[in-house]
Amino acid sequence: MEALSLALQTEALRKVLHSIRAGERGVVIFDLDGTLFDNRPRTLAILNQAADGWAARDPEAARAVRSLRFTELGYLASETLEQVGVDRTLIEEAVQLWRERFFTDDILSHDVPLAGAVSFAKACYEAGANLAYLTGRDLPNMALGTFRSLRDAGFPIGLPGTELVLKPDFETPDLTFKRDITPEITRLGRVAATFDNEPGNCNAFAEMFPEGHHFMMLTQYAPNPPPLKDGVAVIQDFRMES
């Protein structure tokens, strides 16, 4: 998959803003992880916490982790650790810690918005759209930290016309959840645009709302993705040329 050039990305995002201004009340659906936020800094923070525990046992492994930049992390942290020479046992420990901490409120403050994400979400809101943050994060463990991180990053939240929609439980698969709940989002208006980093979700949105503008963020996605449907534009972030 290849992302649009910055010029074409700008044009496509401008079209979304035009379509919000032009039609009846529109809603824009934003996924969070891998879409509005780069969550690799969150993963790296956990790996560093793991490395703190190894410092005495294996200082070299600890040093290797501490020198990682978040941009070096792939979809699976275990693969990145393997590449920098961390041994199996420590990798398993790190992965265990990641599973325990990644999906919890307190660690979410490490997430960093994608380039242009805050400005674009604001522009959609100011153009008159309702915003629905639709995430596979779960309500019991991640709602409060998510609200906080949206607020602290400067995204419109806690305002009329903004919604934070989370999974009712940890176990439901994201795609199932999004397929089931998305039709409810039309309560807020016609779906003008959707943004997600998982091709399966993007395809589902494109099927449900053929009139909308649909975007796949080329950040990270789960292995073995389905082919992306025609009509889903691939972009790398939310930057717009001036």
List residues near Mg ion by CB under 5 A: 31, 33-34, 197
Angle subtended at Cα 121 by Cα 27 and Cα 209, rounded to the nearest 5 degrees: 30
Q: Which token pair is 167?
A: 């999974």
Q: Which token pair is 199?
A: 């091709």
First to last CA, the chain: 26
Nearer to Mg ion, 38 or 50 (CB): 38
Nearer to Mg ion, 34 or 145 (CB): 34
**Strand pairing report for 213-217 and 232-235:** parallel
Nearer to Mg ion, 27 or 198 (CB): 198
Q: Which token pair is 229?
A: 């449907």
Task: Report residue 85: phi and psi, to 5°.
Answer: 85, 20
CA distances for 180 relative to 6, 111, 176, 213, angstroms: 33, 27, 6, 20
Tell me how far, at minimum, the Cβ of 88 lies from Mg ion, in Å: 29
Return the number of other C-beta atoms located less than 10 Å from residue 220's C-beta: 16
Nearer to Mg ion, 149 or 197 (CB): 197
Tell me how far, at minimum, the Cβ of 71 lies from Mg ion, in Å: 18
Nearer to Mg ion, 31 or 111 (CB): 31
Tell me how far, at minimum, the Cβ of 221 lies from Mg ion, in Å: 8
CA distances for 1 relative to 38, 197, 221, angstroms: 19, 12, 11
Tell me how far, at minimum, the Cβ of 34 lies from Mg ion, in Å: 4
DSSP symbols for 120-134: HHHHHHHTT-EEEEE
Q: Are 131 and 28 in contact (CB under 8 A)?
A: yes
Nearer to Mg ion, 41 or 128 (CB): 41
Tell me how far, at minimum, the Cβ of 197 lies from Mg ion, in Å: 4
Tell me how far, at minimum, the Cβ of 7 lies from Mg ion, in Å: 26
Nearer to Mg ion, 33 or 38 (CB): 33
Tell me how far, at minimum, the Cβ of 35 lies from Mg ion, in Å: 5
Q: Which token pair is 236?
A: 């790398």
